Amino acid sequence: MKLTNEIIKKSWRDIYGCSYDEGLNFLLDWWKTSDIPIKDLLEKISQRYPVQYIIGEWPFFEGNYLINEDVLIPRPETEQLIEIIKSFALNPKNILDLGTGSGCIAIEISKIFPEAKVVGIDKSESAISIAKKNNLQAKNEVIFKCSDWFDNVDEKFDLIITNPPYLPKEMMCQDLEFEPKLALFADDNGMECFKEIIMKARTYMNIDSWIFFEHLPVQAAELNELLQKEGFIETSKICDYNGKYRYTYGRT
């Protein structure tokens, strides 16, 4: 095992140097109980295949989530979105997660609001399949279903959360090669999905309800303007841990 670990470390260092030791440590811990052939593992490392997909699961907030190439890799920025919503001390009865992917946002929110009805939607049937598998970890099970944004939604909510595709297509890079493009990139400089969601959202929101977005820092001003144009009030933006505007919210 020690010799094998050294082989894995060398292969990893050849690709990442010392810049990503956290990923290496996760990989070595997982390798102790894995039955993947070492040849296959080294090949994946050489291709810069994400360690999260190699392992097949990843921690997020207070849970652990099955993932594959059909869903995005859960990221720390999205964990902060959960923290922000939790800090607002809301009391929603009906919650909607738009573009749920692995279900990590919806499921963690269902733990914070155990009495609420939580719905997670995604246009990808493969993503919904993964989300339903992850749903077993929460007592307050989320209702997951396929929908292209609001197309298959027929009720109103007190809280809507969304981390939609928001990357401009010119931002495509090697680090994102294996993640689902449908969940990452949007037209109109990454604003296409935001515009569609904001234009329709109020129809599916109760009075005195909230909507929260994750986005690129450069999109904050336009997003805030779009919310105000559609009649949302108390709109504001919040910085991430790096001091960049990453989250925007509004109230009906």
Confidence band, pLDDT 50/70/90 cuts, at residue 5: confident
Cα torsion 148, 52, 117, 224: sign: negative
Q: 13-17, 81-85, 206-210: which range is least confident on average?
A: 13-17
Q: Are 20 and 8 in contact (CB under 8 A)?
A: no
Average pLDDT over residues 170-196: 92
Residues 16-27, mean pLDDT to the nearest whole number: 88
Instruction: Give me the percent of the chain exceeding a pLDDT of 70.
Output: 99
Buried b vs exposed e over 30-43: b needs ≥16 C-beta within 10 Å?
Answer: bbeeeeeeeeebbe
Residue 178 binned pLDDT confidence (cut-offs 50, 70, 90)? very high
27 neighbors 8 (Cβ within 8 angstroms):
yes
Other C-beta atoms closer than 10 Å to the C-beta of 123 total 15
Q: Say which residue the tokens 């709109």 belong to.
A: 235
Q: Is the pLDDT of residue 1 over 70?
A: no
Q: Are 40 and 48 contacting, i.e. CB atoms less than 8 angstroms apart?
A: no
Pairing relationship of beta strands 63-66 and 94-98 according to DSSP bridges: unpaired
For residues 202-230, average pLDDT = 97
**For the segment 23-35, what is each residue's pLDDT rounded down to a tens digit?**
899 999 999 899 8
The answer to whether 176 touches 48, Cβ cutoff 8 Å, is no
pLDDT tops 90 at residue 46: yes
Residue 58 has pLDDT above 90, yes or no: yes
Tell me the per-residue pLDDT of 224-243, one tens digit each, with 9 for 90 and over. Answer: 999 999 999 999 999 999 99
User: What confidence score (pLDDT) does residue 59 get?
Assistant: 95
- 69-93 residue pLDDT tens: 999 999 999 999 999 999 998 999 9
Round the average pLDDT of the chain to a whole number and report it: 95
Task: Give me the mean pLDDT over the 142-147 stretch.
Answer: 98
Q: Closest by alpha carbon to 73, among 55, 89, 85?
A: 55
Closest-CA residue to 147 (of 74, 202, 96):
96
- Percentage of the chain beyond pLDDT 90 is 87
Instruction: State how beta strands 94-98 and 117-122 pair.
Output: parallel
Of the pLDDT bands very low, low, confident and very high (cuts 50, 70, 90), residue 174 is: confident
Residue 137, pLDDT score = 86
